Structure 1
Amino acid sequence: MDLGLSGRTALVCSSTQGIGEAIASALAAEGAHTVVSGRRGGRAKDIAARLPRAVGVEADLLSPQGPEELFQATVDAFGPPDVLVLNGPGPRPGQATDVTVADADSALEATVRPHIRLVSLALPAMRARGWGRVLAVGSSGIAAPLANLALSNLGRAALAGYLKTLAAEVAADGVTVNLLLPGRIATERTAAVDTANAGRTHRTVAEVERESVAAIPAGRYGHVSEFAATAAFLCSAPASYVTGVALRCDGGLVRSL
């Protein structure tokens, strides 16, 4: 299938490792001019150097001008993005009974505000050209809140509500807005959560992993390449009638439809 991404410009946030890196690689492989970004500028440039049409940009989305600087670097390199992939690390693990107002503010600062700013910067050109893709890497906690990830559940659900509302407002302009929700994908973030759960429950990491795998009908953690392939389709031309969707790529982990 031709995904219709050749010559398009794709900005992938937090793409110096894990899911973000895999998505950037998948989009570049489809012919998109790809911006690899993250706080580790050297790492971003190294990844971009291995891709056919890419640049690496050092960017801290939590800094006051971080979203604006990243957007401008994209424009300077390839022009306004046709594809915007929102991604970033989640807040620290923890239980809801331990959440403070300051914690909630911090979670929203990290998971919502910079992404809304990037969307506001990218949308005008997308709407003007009649083509655009906004894809957010979310969490299966949006569909079924995850234990010991209260702050992530809070922040990611807030972003999902905004994006679902936005999808209806820009659909007639040829812009799709979707979320892609990972389950247990084998990444450094997943390993960190498993380690935190092991410490909280006084078990080994191996025991936590076995318990997690037992709950997944597919019987394993997912690969980043599988997640990235799904992301690339949602960013594609053939996916033009898919919008306002929160699609799970989780091996059947969440049992609801």
Structure 2
Amino acid sequence: MDLGISARTALVAASTSGLGRAVAEALAAEGARVVVAARRGDLAREIAATLPAAVGVEADLSAADGPRVMVEAARRAFGDPDILVLNGPGPQPGQAAATTDSDLTGALETLLLAQQRLTALTLPAMRARGWGRIVAIGSSGVAAPLPGMALSNTGRAATAAYLKTLAGEVAADGVTVNLLLPGRIATERVAALDRARADREQRAVADVEAASRATIPAGRYGTPEEFGAAAAFLCSAPASYITGTALRCDGGLVREL
């Protein structure tokens, strides 16, 4: 299938590792011009150099001017982004009863406000052209809140509500807005969560991983490449009638339609 995004400009936030990098690589493989953005500019540039048409940008989404730095760098390199992939670091695990005002403020700043700022900066040009794709990398916790992940569950659910509302407002302008929700994908973030659980429960990491795989109907963790392929489709021309949707890439982990 021709995804129809050759020479489209894609801005991928937090794309030097894990799911963000997988999405950047998948879009680049489809011919998109990719802006690899992250706090570590050296690593962003290093990764961009391995892609057919890409630039690396140093920008911290948690900083007040971080989103603007990302978007302005994309414009200088390739013009206004046609595709925006929203992504960012996840908060630390924790119990809902133990959260503080400061914890929640930090989670919302990273998971909601930074994403809204990026969207606000890129959306007008998409609407004016009559074509745009916004895809947010979320979590299966949006569909079914995850135990011990109170901050992530809260921040990502708020972002999902914002994007669902936005999708209805811009669909007639040719802009689609979707979420892609990973389950247990084999990234360093998931490995770190498994190690943290093993420490809390005083178990071997291998035992924690085996128990986690047993909850997944597919019987394994997903690969970043599988996730990247799903994201590339949501960013594609053939996906033009898919909007306001949360697509799970989780091997059947969440037991609901």
Q: TM-score, normalised by structure 1?
A: 0.99
Residue in 2 that maps onto 1:90:
90
> How far is 1:136 from its partner?
0.1
Query: Structure 1 segments of 4 or more deviating over 3 A?
Result: none
Aligned to 1:143: 143
Aligned equivalent of 1:5: 5
Q: What is the match of residue 240 of structure 2?
A: 240
Deviation for aligned residue 1:64: 1.4
Give me the whole-angstrom Cα distance separating, in 2, the residues matched to 1:102 and 1:54. Answer: 37
Q: Distance in 2 between matches of 1:203 and 1:35?
A: 41
- Partner residue, 1:218: 218
Question: Quick check: 1:152 aligned with 2:173?
Answer: no
Percent identity, please.
Answer: 67
Provide the alpha-carbon RMSD of the alignment. 0.6
- CA displacement 1:47-74 (0-9 Å, x = unmatched): 1101000001111011110001111000
Pairing of 1:97-246 with structure 2 (within 5 A) = 97-246=97-246
Inter-partner Cα distance in structure 2 for 1:122 and 1:175: 11
Deviation of 1:172 after TM superposition, in Å, equals 0.1
Tell me how far apart the structure 1 counterparts of residues 79 and 66 of structure 2 sit (CA, whole Å). Answer: 18
Amino acid at match of 1:109: E
Cα distance in 1 between the residues matched to 2:149 and 2:206: 20
- CA distance in structure 2 between the aligned counterparts of 1:18 and 1:101, rounded to whole angstroms: 29
Could you tell me how far apart the structure 1 residues matched to 2:19 and 2:138 are?
11
Deviations 1:123-154 (A, max 9, x none): 10000000000000000000000011110000
Give CA-to-partner distance per residue, 1:197-224, whole Å, 9 cap, x none: 1112221211110110000000000000
Q: Which amino acid aligns with 1:110?
A: T
Distance 1:71 1:91 in 2: 24
Residue ranges of structure 2 left out of the alignment (5+ in a row): none
- Segment drifting more, 72-81 vs 200-209: 200-209
- How many positions carry a matched residue from both structures? 257
Give me the whole-angstrom Cα distance separating, in 1, the residues matched to 2:181 and 2:73. 28
Secondary structure of 2:93's counterpart equals: coil
Aligned to 1:56: 56
Per-residue displacement from partner, 1:91-145 (whole Å, max 9, x unpaired)? 0011111111111111101111111001000010000000000000000000000
CA distance in 2, matches of 1:243, 1:196: 36
The two structures have a TM-score, normalised by structure 2, of 0.99
Q: Distance in 1 between matches of 2:147 and 2:25?
A: 31
Q: Which amino acid in 1 is paired with 2:251? A: G
* TM superposition shift of 1:178: 0.1
Tell me which amino acid in the other structure corresponds to 1:67: P
